[in-house]
Amino acid sequence: MVNPLTDITQRFQSLLSGLAASPESVVGVDIGKSSIKVVQLKKEKGMIVLQTYGEIATGPYADMKAGQLPTLTAEQLQMVITDLVREANVTARTASFSIQASASLLFVLSLPKITDKELETVVPTEARKYIPVPLNEVALDYWPIPEQEYTDTPLQQTKREVLVVAIRKETITEYSNLVRTLGFTSPILEVEVFSAIRSCFYHELQPVVLIDFGASSTRVAVVEYGVVKTFHTINRGSHYFSQTLATSLGISFAEAEALKKEQGMTEGANAEAYAIMNTGMNYIFSEINNVLLEYERTYHRSIAKMVLVGGGSRTKGFYERASTEFRVDVQFGNPFAKANSPEFLKGVLQETGPEFAIALGLALKQLQ
């Protein structure tokens, strides 16, 4: 009997063998709950060029519908990525992989003014209060936030802020095994919010909020001078709406998914569907508003812009609702604008860009 893990490994490595990919070609792999996305970039004459991109639903690999949230085995996950690499014609061997927000913890510590040396002992001690598992089970990293980044706030005189990221060592091991099995070289792992910021932000001087409306959850990050100052996860994403529509209206998940895409948050033909969507969105927008109010109370600075990414952000009516609700400059993330591509693809890439923000940001990391 053929070992399925060996079979998948051989299938994947055979796809890569003999390919004449430039060492300057890199790929970002965004491992989401309902789908996996890839973007391959290369550097050519000093410019970043889009080579290929693609997406594949994970549901069918666990006998579920596209849009559902399967729990994949290692073998199933390897098979999904193998198929995606083939279908998208990915040739790069150098890759970056996203670590989902659900598998990590990101927070800002407000500490007394201490030296960098003192941070080495103080950060783990203070971080323990926020981490629900023993510290020896997580990989901990931190970055002191430069004081000039918040010179106009009350924290300047008495506090020092540190951005902390904690990831379970078990998760890192699982990802490392996956990457090694798939045959990629020089892999980089990155928490997805940093990838989205890299692909969609430029040099904003005012606070900007990133809304990543994904399948399983909605992530909210307030970013100032490129630094994450606040991060919050709302445990409702686009899958929640499809599942709620299916349950409330007594229809199949596939029918609910189609209804969500067709009508979205607009007052279409199905008034009951609109009421269900509106109720769910009220909760998400209320949570986002709480995050923004807390940020403004803490830092005495107002949000200047909102950037929308994630497949859920393309839900019909979501952009209009966000613009009305928050009364700031609301924009869709346009990550493909950071790579050269054929002119005839510009419109398509701008439309689908929010879904590929993380994958493109992962690829950019390897080229910077």
What pLDDT, on a 0 to 100 scale, did the predictor assign at position 27? Answer: 97
pLDDT for 159: 86
Give the Cα separation of 358 and 255 in Å (integer). 28
Taking CA 340 as the corner, what is the angle to CA 101 and CA 356, rounded to the nearest 5 degrees? 20
Specify the pLDDT at position 269.
Answer: 82
Coil, helix or strand for 190?
strand
CA distance 101 to 104: 5
Q: How many CB atoms lie within 10 A of CB 105?
A: 21
CB atoms under 10 Å from CB of 243, counted, come to: 16
pLDDT score for 204: 86
Q: What is the pLDDT of residue 64?
A: 96
pLDDT computed for residue 152 by the predictor: 54
Q: What is the pLDDT of residues 26-39, one digit of tens each?
A: 999 999 999 999 99
What is the reported pLDDT for 2? 34
Rounded to the nearest integer, the mean pLDDT of the chain is 90
- Delineate the domains of the chain, giving CATH numbers in brackets: 4-101+170-201+335-367 (3.30.420.40), 103-168 (3.30.1490.300), 208-332 (3.30.420.40)
Q: Which residues pair with 218 in a beta bridge?
A: 213, 234
* Segments in the chain below pLDDT 70: 1-23, 148-157
